[in-house]
């Protein structure tokens, strides 16, 4: 891990997070909210699971955990780059591959079993693939 560019890891995760802010608010927030049933009123609406009230995670905790997961994705990408020393072109191909060939099928499997709408899958898979490409670009830029 000594050769990992930790600045690129952190800034990449921050860019990934900021992309999510835009993706799930300005760009596709309306469609995403309709498909998930998650909106501004969700915090005040009672929700149940199996007849029992469900406890909702506070927004700050969700955001901290999202950033932590994106940091792990960026660290994994940074570690692969450090171990293989690929060209910038190869870095971008690897980053796209992470999103399109690893993360997208993984959420696709879950969405199929959960019977979630295809449009929701497209929004979320698009975010993950775009986010990993952004990670690759940040890692290339800070090489």
Q: Residue 1 falls within a domain, yes or no?
A: no
Q: Which domain holds residue 116?
A: 6-141
pLDDT reading at 21 higher than 50 = yes
Q: What is the pTM of this model?
A: 0.88
- pLDDT single digits (tens) 70-110: 999 999 999 999 999 999 999 999 999 999 999 999 999 99
Q: Is the pLDDT of residue 138 over 50?
A: yes
Q: What is the number of structural domains in the chain?
A: 1
Calpha distance 14→94 (Å, rounded) = 19
The answer to whether residue 71 is domain-embedded is yes
52 found inside a domain = yes
Q: Scanning the structure block, which residue is given the tokens 């929004």?
A: 123
Q: Average model confidence (pLDDT) for the chain?
A: 92
Q: Is residue 95 part of a domain?
A: yes
Give the separation between CA 8 and CA 61, rounded to whole angstroms.
24
- Please tell me the distance from the alpha carbon of residue 90 to that of residue 112, in angstroms, as a whole number: 31
On whether residue 68 sits in a domain, the answer given is yes
Residue at 105 is within a domain: yes
């Amino acid at each position: 891990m000594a050769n990992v560019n930790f600045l690129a890891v952190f800034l990449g995760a921050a860019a990934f997070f900021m992309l999510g802010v835009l993706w799930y608010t300005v760009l596709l927030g309306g469609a995403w909210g309709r498909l998930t049933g998650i909106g501004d009123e969700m915090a005040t609406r009672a929700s149940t699971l199996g007849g029992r009230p469900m406890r909702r995670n506070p927004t700050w905790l969700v955001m901290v955990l999202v950033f932590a997961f994106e940091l792990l994705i960026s660290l994994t990408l940074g570690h692969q780059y450090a171990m293989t020393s690929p060209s910038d072109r190869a870095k971008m191909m690897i980053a796209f591959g992470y999103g399109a060939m690893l993360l997208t099928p993984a959420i696709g499997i879950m969405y199929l079993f959960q019977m979630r709408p295809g449009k929701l899958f497209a929004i979320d898979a698009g975010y993950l693939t775009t986010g990993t490409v952004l990670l690759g670009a940040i890692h290339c830029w800070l090489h």
